[in-house]
Every structure is written in C-alpha cells, then in structure tokens.
Amino acid sequence: MPAPSDAKDNTPLWAGDLFGETHLAPATVAPPAKWRQLMPGIAISAIVSAAGAWFSDHYGMPIILMGLILGLAMQFVSADPRTSPGLEFVGRTCLRWGIVLLGFQVTLSEIGALGLGPFLALLVVMSAAILAALVGARMAGQGLAIGILAGGATAICGASAALALYGVVGRERVSQAQFTLTLVVVSVASALAMTIYPELARVAHFDARQAGFLTGAAIHDVAQSIGGGYAVSNAAGAAATVVKLTRVALLGPLVALAAVVIQRFDSRGDDVSPWKALALPPFILAFLALVVGHSLIAVPAVISANALLLSKGLLLLAVTATAMRTRTDLILQLGWNSVLPVLAATATSFLVAFAFALWVIQ
C-alpha cells in the first residue's frame, strides 16, 4: 500500500516522522513578534545615524544635516518591506520622545530672566518669520500647511519644530518629499547662519547682549544657535542660550495655534470642533509638563545633560528614518519654488532680529 503523500510535492506525510508528530505542526509559520518586525528598520536607522554622528564629529558638519543626507542616500532600503515597520516606529516614536526630553532644557525662570522688552521683540521676530513663510508659500503656489511648517520650523527650533508640526499638519497636506526638503533647507540655512551671523555681529560692534539676541533669535537649530553666540563670546553665548530656550518653550503654544489655523482654513472637509482642534498632542503636553516640572524642581545638571544627549540621539534617528522613507526623485521634481517659504522666513527673521539688536536691545 503506497504511503499517503502531499499533493503538492508528492512527499510521504510520515517520511522522516519517527514519532508520528508531523500532523501536529501548524500549516503556516506564525508571524514574528512585534519587536522582531521592528528590528530591521531600527537597526538600519541606528547604523546610518551612527555614521552621520561620526561624520559630524570628524568634519564639523551639523549632525541633523548629516543624518538627512545619509538617510536620503540610503533611501533604497525602504523598498524592502521588512524595514517599513521599524522605520515608521523610529520616525514617529523616537521623534516624540526626543521632543519631550527637550523639556529638561528650559525653565520658566530662564524665560523670565529674558525681560519683557526682549521677550516682546522675540515674539515679533518669530511672528515675522511665520508671516514671511506664509507669503513665500503663497507666492510659490503652495498651500497654507507648507507655510506653517516652514515658518514654525524657522521660528522655533529648526528640524525639531518641523517634526512636531508635521504631526499636526498631516501627510495629506504636505507630502513626504516636501517635508524632507523642508528639513534639509532648514538645516542648511541654520548651518550657514551659525557661520555668518557671529561675524556680522562683530562687524556691527554688537555687545554681548545684542550678539546673543541676534544668534538666539535668528538661528534655527538649538545647538547651532547657542554655538553661534559662544563664537562671539562667553557672555554672548549665555545670552543666546536664554533667548533660544525661550523659543523652544513656545513650541507647545505654536503647535496648538497651528492646529486651530489648519482646522479653520484648511480642514479638508473634516468636521472638528475648535476645542478639539485646540487639543495638543500628548507628546507636546508631556514636553510642557517637563518644562513646568523642571521649573519647580531642581534637576541635577548631569540629568539635564544626559537628557539633552538622548534627545539629540532620538531626533537624529527620527530625521534619518524620515529621509530613508522619502523618494529622492520626488524631491527633485518639486522645483526651486519649494524652498521659497524657508528662505523667506530665514531672511526675514535675520533682518528683524538684527534691527532689534541694533536699535532696541541695549
């Protein structure tokens, strides 16, 4: 009597089955655990981010910019479906925790130390940058959401603010390619500003407070803004730190305002109440809670320093994963007008900040 066989490959079902257990095996292989699904994307993000950190450390390039460039160069890895869950996880979860940890870097007392006059001047600089981005987007034939994204990134803290605002603006309003291009242009503009603005402050014979206001109010990235101040003097660096961290503390209110404006003028047919639109994402609420908590409870310097290091690492992972998920051919198709909002906001923030530093900040 012939042995029973599998119809597909004619193999006897009991062949090699010494204990008669073959029939107990599942017909299909169980899917891997969730963490195993995430590991390929997380691993490649970590490797590329580490390479970006190495290049930044050895060649003096901004670390976020290096992560973006290397991520775009490694875009082909996203074509492998095994990397998709991990890249999505890194781009979303690491971003949120990176922004939350920025709350360890600012206190309400530091904002109060800025003074009413400089604080109001800073609000004018930020408002002018956002308005210029909106005008630039309109001139370039782009939507309101792109203007808000570019203006908010310029007004607050560069790539970190852009990542936070993107969660409110939504992918249906700003394409992944446009978003990545905005990140690249903001990072490049910030790097150039860190090099140029301190020299302009010296040419204008600014004192430490004036130079600190200029670099703290007009340079996008946190580290580059503070570094630009210290490039003038230690006193200017201390002043730039207060100004810049005040901008960072305003990230939460700006995200809330952006949500309301988007819902009011670009709702895409969504019927959402104004109060629901005003609700902040949980990670922004956590950021604000840390700012308040840090203001009320003294945190050891070592904790703040390690929190800043971890925040930078998480944000680097997020921008690298975002770049790897972006098709470079779509970026090239966007055209020069796609960078106009960021350029308009950058130029305007510098001119307004320079004017305040020259005639108001004493």
Per-residue model confidence as pLDDT tens digits over 132-159: 999 999 998 888 999 999 999 999 999 8
Q: What pLDDT band is residue 24 in, cutting at 50, 70 and 90?
A: very low
13 assigned to some structural domain: no
Range of the domain at 323: 39-265+273-360
For the chain, give the secondary structure using H, E and C.
Answer: CCCCECCCCCCECCCCCCCCCHHHCCCCCCCCCHHHHHHHHHHHHHHHHHHHHHHHHHHCCCHHHHHHHHHHHCHHHHHCHHHHHHHHHHHHHHHHHHHHHHHHHCCHHHHHHCCHHHHHHHHHHHHHHHHHHHHHHHHCCCCHHHHHHHHHHHHCCCHHHHHHHHHHHCCCCCCHHHHHHHHHHHHHHHHHHHHHHHHHHHHCCCCHHHHHHHHHHHCCCHHHHHHHHHHHCHHHHHHHHHHHHHHHHCHHHHHHHHHHHHHHHCCCCCCCCHHHHHCCCHHHHHHHHHHHHHHHCCCCHHHHHHHHHHHHHHHHHHHHHHHHCCCHHHHHCCCHHHHHHHHHHHHHHHHHHHHHHHHCCC
Average pLDDT over residues 77-105: 89
Predicted pLDDT of residue 275: 54
Cβ-count burial of 13 within 10 angstroms (0-12 exposed, 13-18 middle, 19+ buried)?
exposed
Query: Is the pLDDT assigned to residue 362 strictly greater than 80?
Result: no
Nearest Cα to 53, choosing from 324, 328, 326, 320?
A: 320
Query: Is the pLDDT assigned to residue 1 strictly greater than 50?
Result: no
Encode pLDDT of 154-173 as tens digits.
999 998 899 889 888 877 88
4 assigned to some structural domain: no
91 assigned to some structural domain: yes
Predicted pLDDT of residue 274: 53
8 assigned to some structural domain: no
12 assigned to some structural domain: no
Average pLDDT over residues 199-212: 94
67 assigned to some structural domain: yes
6 assigned to some structural domain: no
Query: Is the pLDDT assigned to residue 211 strictly greater than 80?
Result: yes
Nearest Cα to 103, choosing from 287, 295, 300, 311?
A: 287
- Looking at the structure of the chain, the number of domains it has is 1
27-41, 193-207, 248-262, 318-332: which has the minimum mean pLDDT?
A: 27-41
Query: Is the pLDDT assigned to residue 243 strictly greater than 90?
Result: yes
- Alpha carbon distances (Å) from 121 to 31, 115, 116, 349: 57, 10, 9, 11
Average pLDDT score over the chain: 84
197 assigned to some structural domain: yes
Predicted pLDDT of residue 218: 95
Predicted pLDDT of residue 51: 94
Predicted pLDDT of residue 11: 44
Q: What pLDDT band is residue 108 in, cutting at 50, 70 and 90?
A: confident
Query: Is the pLDDT assigned to residue 75 strictly greater than 80?
Result: yes
Predicted pLDDT of residue 109: 84
Q: What pLDDT band is residue 74 in, cutting at 50, 70 and 90?
A: very high
Q: What pLDDT band is residue 33 in, cutting at 50, 70 and 90?
A: low
Predicted pLDDT of residue 54: 94
Average pLDDT over residues 216-242: 92
Encode pLDDT of 244-271 as tens digits.
999 998 998 999 889 888 877 766 545 4
Which residues, 6+ apart, have CB-to-CB distance to 20 below 8 Å?
Answer: 14
Predicted pLDDT of residue 30: 45
